Amino acid sequence: MVPGPSSLPSVSLRRFFATGLAVNALLCAAPMAFAQDEAVPASAPDPDFVPEFNEDGQRQIGFEADELNYDQDTDTVTASGNVLLRSGDQSVRADAVTWNRLTGQIMATGDVRFVDEDGNQLFTDSLELTDELEAGAMTNLLFAFRQGARLAAEQATRDVEGNIELQRAVYSACPVTNAEGCAQNPSWRITAERVWYDSETERIRFSDAYLELFGARILPLPGLTLRADGSAESGFFVPNIGITASNGIELSGSYYWRLADNRDLTLTGYVFTEAAPMVSAEYRHLTDGGAFQVTAYGTYGTRIPLNSNVATSEEDIRGYIETNGRFQLDENWTASGSIRLASDRTFLRRYDISREDRLRSTVQLERIDDNSYVSIAGWATQALLVSTDQGQVPLALPLVDARYRLEDPILGGNVELQANTLAITRAEGQDTQRAFARAQWDYRTLTPMGQEITLTGLVRGDVYHSDDNFLTITPSYRGEGGWQARGIAIAAVDVTWPFAGEFLGGTQILTPRVQLVAAPDIRNMDIPNEDARAIDLEDSNLFALNRFPGYDRVEDGVRLTYGFDWQANFPGWRIETTFGQSYRLTDEPTLFPDGTGLNEQWSDFVGRTQVRFRDFVKFTHRFRLDKDSLAVRRNEIDATIGSDATYLELGYLRLDRDIDLSFEDLQDREELRAAGRVAFADHWSVFGSAVVNLTDREEDPSFTADGFEPLRTRLGIAYADECLEFGFTWRRDYIQLADAQSGSSFRIFFNLRNLGF
């Protein structure tokens, strides 16, 4: 007589291995357990180490459960209590798993979590399994993709290939918990009557779908298809709408075309009430060796020349093209480039693409290894919102710079060799060619008392050729025409002596510094000046061997520079200060223009102070003080206070140097910049910014401003969470340049993050 199920003991089975099909694991486990009536020995191997298939190609299942029961009346095997089935990267966890030997049905019930081989997780109340540990029919399920998106449905079925069909489903890529781990409703979701997930292509296809925002159904989405991995899918972007002073009402829409996994194309159309329509395209391509992209805009209409207020009657094609890329040719060689070109000087500003006053294009080939560097480059510039004649704008091609650091020290110091050549061509101006070779020796040592001493020796030989020098407006930039040569020699000794100790409950480091630099007379005025024009004494070049930027001007004579660095650290706080001055050993006139802080025997005082409190306060102040009156010649402040959500940024610059107006690179300016953001109600914020020109005619007689001229202001309000952003901005431009009108602009923006199109 066969006893009933109530009389059979249950078996504790925490670790057990089954070879073959999952159903065979349960079938073999029950008789063995009842025959022994005891738990499997604790020394059984861990299921984490079960191979997915055995030598015969049969699937192997790692199996764990608190209890295993067999009902002889119904021929049913039931595993209960923390059940875990595992095979390869797949696993099933459930409160109970039941196998009916008569019908062949396997059911997992109670807090079921199924993980497939791709790492996606499926949560459900009940799940029907195949004999290969594959999911079948299920109810009340949640499908969590590895990349973060989620699908929930009342019913679903999953076939052996991993494809899933869902009924009455909801999809969202928004987090369902906040930073504190509390449950939250997603700001957007997609509802659909039916959804299909293709495991091979990882695409989700919707039928009768709608977009819901904050629980309200707002937009039908016919034919919607998304990629489950979160990457982009071909489709239309959300349209943008705005109002600008130059073009009136603007409506734009884009179509994204995913050509392949490594390249895409975005096409955009623009319609304006006060301008002709415009189109744009952006192509991006990722290759095995690098990446590049090309962006182009085009329209057909009238344009107003710069510094004119009258539209031309002649219509013409207007546009802009920008391309850039970078490629790693091998371990050492890299090629990169950027080409930017506009049809006219005001196109970018009128259509709010860019507010730059110049467009720079460059190509470069670089080689870098442990001891050498080679660069072969070319530069071209297009003048936009400036009065410079394009014929006076230089083309730098080629620019070759090669450096090599000797592996073995010489006299204990490192030696670097450099060769450089440059050719500058102008269509209607001075042409200059240059070549030089340089060798520099640096020796650093520490004395027993802690001073760091650096000895430097530099020699350089230059050869220049130039013609049409008289076409350069500023005489000091011209140099002598024809062939010119010069030799340069510089020797320097630099000594620093840091002192560290306690200070007001923190620590401080005071580092005095003294530098002596000597160079014989150099033939500077015979050489054209192409790259050393914007000279100004700052904390960054106070101790430089040559305070001129570039190579065309080199500071000669003997000078002594002294100063100090001071740093204090307290809990959460850091304060850094740099201060110094230089003294020339001769009172002969220098190359430096009046007002640069370097034109007299004693230089002006320069310094920088930085204050930081964690990530809440960042303050930087750069200054230059007149050596005689201590008047502030340079006053520059950059400050940020607040968090990422709520902050205030301030920037102020005043250059009060009284420099000759003939030096177009050194004009005095005064400007104020401010920006801020205030967050409220969790995801809402108001923000604004302003740029104000404070330069008056006393600082620059060429200006017509009265000392307070707003250039641009902006205000807005926005909502932003993990997967949704929208808002409204107002901007006013106060400068009118040709067909780029001054006035107010309004824009509405809307962005569904993580939606994949």
Distance between CA atoms of residues 359 and 393, nearest Å: 11
Distance between CA atoms of residues 506 and 571, nearest Å: 7
State the pLDDT at residue 316: 84
Amino acid at 256: Y
Q: Tell me whether residue 92 is exposed, middle or buried, using C-beta atoms within 10 angstroms of its C-beta: 0 to 12, 13 to 18, 19 or more.
A: buried
Q: Which of 386, 441, 390 is nearest to 413 (CA)?
A: 441
DSSP codes of every residue in 422-440: EEEE-TTS-EEEEEEEEEE
State the pLDDT at residue 314: 64
Q: Which of 470, 410, 401, 385 is nearest to 435 (CA)?
A: 401
Distance between CA atoms of residues 657 and 635, nearest Å: 11
Amino acid at 223: G
State the pLDDT at residue 24: 39
- In 130-247, the DSSP E strands lie at 135-144, 150-158, 164-172, 188-198, 203-213, 216-220, 225-227, 235-236, 240-244
Q: Which long-range contacts (CB under 8 A, 24 or more apart) does 370-374 make?
A: 371/404, 371/405, 371/406, 371/407, 372/402, 372/403, 372/404, 372/405, 373/401, 373/402, 373/403, 373/404, 374/400, 374/401, 374/402, 374/403
Distance between CA atoms of residues 25 and 19, nearest Å: 7
Q: Which long-range contacts (CB under 8 A, 24 or more apart) does 692-698 make?
A: 693/669, 694/654, 694/670, 695/668, 695/669, 695/670, 695/671, 696/670
State the pLDDT at residue 583: 96
Amino acid at 342: A
Do residues 530 and 468 touch, judged by C-beta distance below 8 A?
Answer: no
Q: What whole-number percentage of the chain has pLDDT above 70?
A: 87
The three-class DSSP label of residue 574 is strand
Q: Which of 333, 552, 511, 524 is nearest to 424 (CA)?
A: 552
Q: If DSSP states are collapsed to H, E and C, what string results for 653-672? A: EEECCCCCCCCCCCCCCEEE
Q: Which residues contact 406 (CB under 8 A, 6 or more apart)?
A: 371, 414, 415, 416, 417
Q: Which of 557, 601, 595 is nearest to 583 (CA)?
A: 601
* Dihedral sign, Cα of residue 16, residue 22, residue 24, residue 30: positive
With tokens 């061509």, the residue in question is 425
> Cβ–Cβ contacts within 10 Å for residue 489, how many?
14
Do residues 695 and 710 touch, judged by C-beta distance below 8 A?
Answer: no
Q: Which of 217, 225, 216, 172 is nearest to 197 (CA)?
A: 225
The three-class DSSP label of residue 136 is strand
Residues of the chain with pLDDT under 70: 1-59, 130-135, 179, 181, 230, 306-314, 661-665, 699-705, 754-757
- Tokens standing for 14? 């925490």
pTM of the model: 0.78
Distance between CA atoms of residues 541 and 495, nearest Å: 16
Do residues 273 and 264 touch, judged by C-beta distance below 8 A?
Answer: no
Distance of CA 756 to the CA centre of its chain: 20
